[in-house]
């Protein structure tokens, strides 16, 4: 991988992530491009939370970026690649959601999902309280807990579809985040200050908080996306 590890490495990972979903957006059955208005509205609303969060954590050095693998273009503390991350990754996740709904439609409710969400919400809140001194853990887990409880209260038929899309999205998530955290390459692209996360609870080099972070980002985007589609 050494020949790929240069200042364009993060951009190349993002391009790889976007390539297939973008090309298939114009496929005749899915017609994903016809839903772009709802999609980008949902992404914007999600970014209203995640961009300030990212800026704050970067400024506080909860995490940061290896200058060897990003181009020298920043806006509000964040490299341009990080801004693109919050557009491209949700784009791909919602694409997975649409593919699953088209090829594997679900017409019945799964009440067990709601019960699971309630338990997960309580568990995350407890962990956030116990590790309140760890900034990434406490904020990520508490925000996820509140949003999961909000989804639980809605008792929506789309919850199973959202949860299913997240589970499948973990496959590319582990691959891409593995590169970002240096699991498959010589150096990390994104580094973490382990005093602000659980540290010992890692899959590859990926902090466990990243899985909850990904769930929150994906589920929030899909929530806004499905609501926007209904209005249209």
The dihedral built from the CA positions of residue 230, 88, 191 and 52, taken in this order, carries a sign that is negative
Give the 3-state secondary structure of residue 108.
coil
Q: If residue 65 lies in a helix (H) or strand (E), which one and from where to where?
A: strand 63-65
pLDDT the model gives residue 115 = 75
Query: What pLDDT, on the 0 to 100 scale, is given for residue 2?
Result: 56
So what's the pLDDT on residue 152? 84
Give the number of domains in the chain.
1
The 8-class DSSP code of residue 5 comes to -
What is the per-residue pLDDT across 121-135, written as a single tens digit (0 to 9) for each? Answer: 999 999 999 999 999
What whole-number distance in Å separates Cα of residue 220 and Cα of residue 227?
11
Note the pLDDT of residue 178.
87
Question: Tens-of-pLDDT digits for all 232 residues of the chain?
Answer: 555 668 899 999 999 999 999 999 998 898 999 999 999 999 999 999 999 999 999 999 999 999 989 998 888 889 999 999 999 999 999 999 999 999 998 776 666 677 777 888 999 999 999 999 999 999 999 999 999 999 888 866 778 888 899 999 999 898 888 888 887 777 889 999 999 999 865 667 899 999 999 999 999 999 999 999 988 6
pTM value is: 0.92
pLDDT for 130: 96
Per-residue confidence (pLDDT) for residue 111, from 0 to 100 = 63
Using the 8-state DSSP alphabet, how is residue 175 labeled?
H
Q: Which domain holds residue 129?
A: 2-231
Q: In whole angstroms, what separates CA 101 from the centre of its chain?
A: 19
Residue 131 to residue 102: CA distance in whole angstroms: 41
Please give the pLDDT value at position 133.
94
């Amino acid at each position: 991988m050494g020949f790929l590890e240069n200042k364009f490495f993060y951009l190349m990972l993002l391009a790889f992530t976007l390539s297939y979903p973008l090309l298939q957006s114009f496929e005749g059955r899915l017609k994903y491009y016809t839903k772009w208005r709802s999609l980008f509205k949902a992404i914007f609303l999600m970014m209203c939370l995640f961009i300030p969060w990212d800026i704050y954590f970067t400024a506080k050095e909860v995490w940061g970026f290896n200058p060897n693998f990003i181009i020298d273009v920043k806006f509000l503390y964040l490299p341009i690649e990080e801004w693109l991350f919050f557009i491209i990754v949700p784009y791909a996740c919602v694409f997975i959601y649409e593919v699953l709904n088209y090829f594997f439609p679900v017409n019945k409710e799964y009440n067990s999902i709601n019960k699971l969400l309630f338990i997960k919400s309580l568990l995350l809140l407890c962990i956030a309280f116990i590790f309140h001194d760890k900034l990434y853990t406490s904020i990520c887990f508490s925000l996820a807990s509140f949003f999961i409880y909000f989804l639980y209260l809605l008792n929506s038929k789309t919850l199973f579809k959202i949860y299913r899309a997240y589970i499948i999205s973990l496959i590319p998530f582990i691959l891409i985040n593995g590169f970002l955290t240096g699991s498959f390459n010589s150096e990390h692209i994104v580094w973490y200050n382990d005093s602000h996360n659980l540290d010992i609870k890692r899959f590859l080099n990926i902090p466990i908080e990243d899985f909850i972070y990904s769930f929150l980002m994906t589920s929030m985007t899909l929530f806004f996306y499905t609501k926007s589609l209904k209005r249209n």
